[in-house]
Chain A
């Protein structure tokens, strides 16, 4: 049992002093609170008011000037400059880092068809199992018949995706990339998050290109290795 003063009341009751009286007040000794000298200059208050107004005016005029004359500070490149730091989102956007993993896209060949050969590497590597591919065979007379397949259906559920980038690493053909720099939009329903082949092909990289710089070795090209699934 302790009382307010923090003393053990059991000890107090054993002594001759009565426990029922108020314990003596302890005077706290600390550093005194600083109070400004009450000189006339301080008391008149106008001096400090002028100083304060100068500060607020400086901030206001600087910010108003920068805002209304289009001299706003760049939120990324001029990060350490003063002024209004707000990025007004829908109109202004902070750029993501170069290697930001955004929404997927399917790269295309020169003829506009997807580079994807439907090898299922990405959907196998995907830990979230968000990629669904239904492979299709080319016609008999197509030079690519027996060499590779194409995706009849290529669907990514962007709600399931965890944006780990394993699919990009697994792809042997540079057919799937995450360099769009976009994040998923807020949609009304879940079904809208399921991106199909055509939508994924539509997206471009940050430079807008829908192809990649890595060469492809089509049948007929001098670099074509001449291998086919049927011969070997």
Chain B
């Protein structure tokens, strides 16, 4: 292993650990804020950072400039074969940023009034018009880049076409960033970002709080337990791939990766994502273990030790009971959790996590291949993370705070962090095993290929860099989205009784998982006996499921934006003197003199 590879590994470790910690903070925020909005409350959002307006402007403009720079540089990189894709990508980015910014500006101006003629002109159109117009442009750009012959934009041996479209995208991004930063008012600007600083404020508070330790607590184990709760989650994510394989050109042919070679990415990889000869593959995954899934379950199973030791070491009967409850619950559901994914392993025939993910990308996502396993696994995963409706280790009316009872300050904070990191990790596992990991429908190593069975519908060659970036963004995006959905479960379901929890685990999930294994075995045998016909039919069905995901995602996106931009219709009632006064003034936005 060369120094370059070592530093890459270090960067990958930092990425996954920081991602998990950010996920923990984000899900704490989502849990509180989302829960409040579900219950028609505002929720915690008072944490605020006051910054000088110049700093805020810089904070808005700087990322725009950075992104613009990062986008425009690869476009000038000479790469034969993907010019059209690059022109398309650049224009698509410009269109995306353009309609999104115009939409924001239009709705902002319509709410707050315009500062200049340009804004007044923008606000004349409904925000929805910009969205629909953007969609039309997105589609229109696709054939546009193909109509222009290659010779036009490759004059004089320099391909200025891709560079130009990249420059257009960069300029649009920079202009939008600058305009947005110019809208920041003078003076002290309070930044709240929908209350995202609240978990940070909580952590700061917890660090400064007094640590209380029971007199007779086991000092060593008491201090150790919070770390035992957090540690397994942080190391299990090591085997989860968060992106496809990156191929670096082996410039000096020594078979090892040097620092100089880090900037030489392969131009276009094969459809399967395999690196060409003379290239060095780097997996976007901290370790590529061939027993990856077994490793995950082995290490995740030790998470129970933290809870058990915390309960034991606290010298408190309630804490001990809570620790026992947590232990028996996690051990019980570990069984159902492990058995529910066996059908997937039977289908794919591997426990290597990257193989599992790639199988889903080339065939159908796990949720379509094994819907029953998906349901069983997600139920068991929620129980494993000890969240509502399975939060039996804690219970105010029965055992107070369970094994957390005697913990205070940042030791409690560590447990909290560990619990939410575990929550984030269960979302990561669900995405990896059932939602295709980093894969996006129809996006392969060398670009987009829409095909049903053997009938090709659409092809677009894309560079290795673009595909890799999309894969990484898809993985993290899916995890965020799934976490967001999983928070709803917490606010929807009432908690179970302890005996119900046990009977659900042992009497329902376990037999169902076993039956699913049996059924899957029979189906696999039948398909194997079916020969070529069955295989090709399955492939067609798999492609249709991919199309369903792509189409469903697009339709859901359009429907969501359309609904979001729809103005709210409300009935106004002037039924009190205060309301009469407010109506006369025009709104209830307070003047300085109004109390």
Binding site for B on A (CB under 8 A): 46, 49, 52-53, 55-57, 59-60, 63-71, 73-86, 88, 92-99, 102, 180-183, 203-206, 208
Contacts and interface: CB of A to CB of B under 8 A. Distances in A.
B573 A77 contact: yes
Contact of A56 (B488, B576, B589): B488
A22 to B, nearest CB: 31
Nearest to B39: A59
A183 B595 contact: yes
B593 A79 contact: no
A56 B41 contact: no
Interface of B: 34, 37-42, 107, 111, 194, 375, 488-489, 491-493, 563-565, 567-568, 570-583, 585, 587-591, 593-595
Contacts of B42: 67, 84, 86, 88
Nearest to B581: A98
Given A68-B194, A76-B579, A77-B582, A92 B590 contact: yes
B493 A180 contact: no
Nearest to B111: A70
Contacts of A205: 593
A76 B588 contact: yes
A96 B571 contact: no
A97 B583 CA distance: 11
A63 B571 contact: no
A60 B37 contact: yes
A102 B492 CA distance: 45
A66 B111 CA distance: 13
Contact of A59 (B40, B563, B594): B40
Given A53-B492, A98-B577, 11 more contacts: A60-B34, A68-B194, A69-B564, A78-B570, A93-B590, A93-B595, A96-B594, A97-B581, A204-B593, A206-B591, A208-B591
Given A77-B572, A79-B579, A95 B40 contact: no
A79 B590 CA distance: 17
Contact of B593 (A53, A67, A82, A181): A181
A92 B590 CA distance: 7
A96 B570 contact: no
A93 B590 CA distance: 6
Contacts of B493: 49, 52
B573 A59 contact: no
5 A-B pairs with the lowest CB-CB distances in the bound complex, closest first: A93-B590, A97-B577, A71-B568, A52-B492, A63-B37
B40 A76 contact: no
Contact of A95 (B37, B564, B594): B594
Nearest to B564: A65
Given A52-B493, A78-B571, A95-B594, A83 B488 contact: no
B577 A81 contact: no
A164 B33 CA distance: 43
Given A96-B595, A180-B593, A181-B593, A77 B194 contact: no
B582 A95 contact: yes
B582 A82 contact: no
A77 B588 contact: yes
Contacts of B38: 56, 59-60, 63
A95 B594 CA distance: 7
Nearest to A102: B595
A11 to B, nearest CB: 42
Contacts of A57: 488
A125 to B, nearest CB: 25
13 contacts: A53-B488, A59-B38, A65-B568, A74-B588, A76-B588, A77-B574, A78-B570, A79-B575, A80-B571, A95-B585, A99-B577, A203-B593, A208-B591
Contact of A97 (B491, B565, B576): B576
A113 B322 CA distance: 74
Contacts of A59: 37-40
Main secondary structure of the interface of A (DSSP, over half): loop
B595 A206 contact: no
B572 A95 contact: no
Contact of A94 (B41, B574, B578, B593): B578
A93 to B, nearest CB: 4
Contacts of B574: 77
Contact of A96 (B111, B375, B578): B578
B577 A181 contact: no
Given A80-B571, A81-B570, A99-B577, A208 B582 contact: no
A93 B589 CA distance: 7
A80 B488 contact: no
B567 A71 contact: yes
Contacts of A70: 107, 111
Nearest to A79: B573
B527 to A, nearest CB: 27
Given A60-B37, A84-B42, A88-B42, A77 B577 contact: no
B593 A77 contact: no
A49 B375 CA distance: 12
Contacts of A82: 40
Contact of B489 (A53, A68, A69, A203): A53
Contacts of B594: 93, 95-96, 181-182, 206
Contacts of A99: 577
A182 B593 contact: yes
A73 B565 CA distance: 16
A73 B375 CA distance: 38
A180 B568 CA distance: 33
A205 B583 CA distance: 18
A93 B593 CA distance: 11
B104 to A, nearest CB: 10
Nearest to A57: B488
A73 B593 contact: no
A81 B579 CA distance: 14
A67 B579 contact: no
Given A49-B492, A53-B488, A76 B590 contact: no
B172 to A, nearest CB: 24
Nearest to B574: A77
Most buried by A among B563, B570, B575: B570
B567 to A, nearest CB: 7
B486 to A, nearest CB: 11
A140 B47 CA distance: 62
A81 to B, nearest CB: 5
A206 B576 CA distance: 18
A65 B560 CA distance: 10
Contacts of A64: 37
Contacts of A183: 595
B223 to A, nearest CB: 39
A20 B578 CA distance: 71
A208 B194 CA distance: 34
Contacts of B575: 79
A93 B329 CA distance: 49
B235 to A, nearest CB: 33
A102 B576 CA distance: 18
A203 B568 CA distance: 38
Nearest to A99: B577
A135 B568 CA distance: 58
Contacts of B567: 71
Contacts of B565: 69
A56 B491 contact: yes
Contacts of B491: 56
